[in-house]
Amino acid sequence: MSTDRPRLFKIIAAIYNDVLVNKYKDQHFWILGTFIPTFLVSRLLVHSSPRIFLQVHNQHVHHFTYGIVILAVSGYLAIVRKGKSPAWLAAVFGVGLALAVDETGMWLHLTDRYYNDTSENALILVIAFLINVVYFREFWARVVKGIVGWVRGH
Model confidence pLDDT, tens digit, residues 58-109: 887 888 899 999 999 999 999 999 988 899 999 999 999 999 999 888 888 8
What are the residue ranges of helices labelled H in 1-136? Answer: 4-19, 27-48, 63-80, 87-102, 104-109, 117-135
Contact, 133 vs 41, CB < 8 A?
A: no
pLDDT recorded at residue 26: 82
The domain limits of the chain are 26-143+145-149
Question: CA-to-CA distance for 61 and 124, rounded, in angstroms?
Answer: 24
